Amino acid sequence: METDKQKITPHLWFDKEAKEAAQFYTSVFKNSKITNVTTLHNTPSGDTDIVSFVLSGQAFMAISAGPLFKFNPSVSFIVNVDPSREKDEREIIDALWEKLSQGGRVLMPLQQYPFSERYGWLQDKYGLSWQLLLSNPEGEERPPIVPSLMFVGAVCGKAEEAINFYSSVFSKRGESKVGNMVRYAKDQEPDKEGTIMFTDFMLLSQWFAAMDSAHGHNFTFNESISFMVYCDTQEEIDYYWDKLSAVPEAEQCGWLKDKYGLSWQIVPTDMDEMMQSGDKEKIARVTEAFLAMKKFDIAELKSAYEGR
């Protein structure tokens, strides 16, 4: 996947460890690198590091912005180790598990399951969740890393509804489709028959996965992981904002929360260029401008950047 064409980027909120975590992750995954580090000054969280990095072709962004939110397994990242792409695939998945599990917590042991010859689910030392999966080489190819959404608690049973909603929103602006879908059977209580055991779907040519889980979980979606949607025009920003925002009190600095509790950031495509310019005065002006906004105004941001 070409990262410069990626329209949706996972955004990770750390307390103080964004740079450290990015260095760790880029050391774990091949074809990975840190692409930019920018420090914003005088934010509500004080001096804030923003780190852009790439893991196996998947663009990420991380921020150190204080201990406001903590990662939990409602959003995880599936790591597809595909035997058709990789030699020594078992050694690769075992090595990834060893590195990511150090200082972390095992949610499902790395072993054989009915759906995979080798699979495990863990939280790493920062709390971020990973599902390591030995893929079926006969299936349709998927990217090496796929964000996965788990619908629990009040939104359990709504995974299919949410996917249909997201597909309707994003298909207006690019390719969206549903891929594989596996449903729970009647003997898999507490999960309700017909709800989603696993599915994957594409938004703006980018793959995601989702599942329902009726088991008791003491977590749900929060702002620790959001998804940045890059928009070329104000019309696009207005469109996504109007379609997705469902919690007015959550609207701030381009952030919104949808009706399922998932957080998104609707941002101008030019935002990265502005914030990564290296010009401290320009960055300070843009930061001051966007801190006062809920929905981003491209014209105002560009005026602040140019000092007009």
pLDDT of the residue at 40: 79
Per-residue model confidence as pLDDT tens for the chain (308 residues) = 334 568 999 999 999 999 999 999 999 999 999 999 988 777 777 788 899 999 999 999 999 999 999 999 999 999 999 887 777 889 999 999 999 999 999 999 999 998 899 999 999 999 999 999 998 767 778 899 999 999 999 999 999 999 999 999 999 887 888 988 999 999 999 999 999 999 999 999 999 999 999 998 999 999 999 999 999 999 999 999 999 999 999 999 999 999 999 999 999 998 888 887 777 888 888 888 888 899 999 999 988 988 87
pLDDT of the residue at 3: 40
Break the chain into its structural domains and give their ranges. Answer: 3-70+221-306, 75-212
Read off φ and ψ for residue 64, nearest 5 degrees: -100, 105
The four Cα atoms 157, 229, 62, 82 give a dihedral, to 10 degrees, of: 60
Residue 171 burial (CB count, 10 A) = 14
Report the alpha-carbon distance of residue 230 to residue 237 in Å, rounded: 8
Query: Which CATH superfamily is 3-70+221-306 part of?
Result: 2,3-Dihydroxybiphenyl 1,2-Dioxygenase, domain 1 (3.10.180.10)
Q: Which of 206, 209, 298, 220 lies closest to 257 in space, CA to CA?
A: 220
Whole-angstrom CA distances from 218 to 73, 150, 158 are 10, 13, 18
Residues whose CB is less than 8 angstroms from the CB of residue 282 and which lie 6 or more positions away in sequence, other chains included: 274, 305, 306, 307
DSSP 176-208: -EEEEEEE--TTSTTSPTTSEEEEEEEETTEEE
Q: Looking at domain 75-212, which of 3.40.50.300, 4.10.80.40, 3.30.720.110, 2.40.50.200 is its CATH number?
A: 3.30.720.110
58-114 confidence digits (pLDDT tens): 999 999 999 999 999 999 999 999 887 777 889 999 999 999 999 999 999 999 998
pLDDT of the residue at 5: 61
pLDDT of the residue at 2: 37
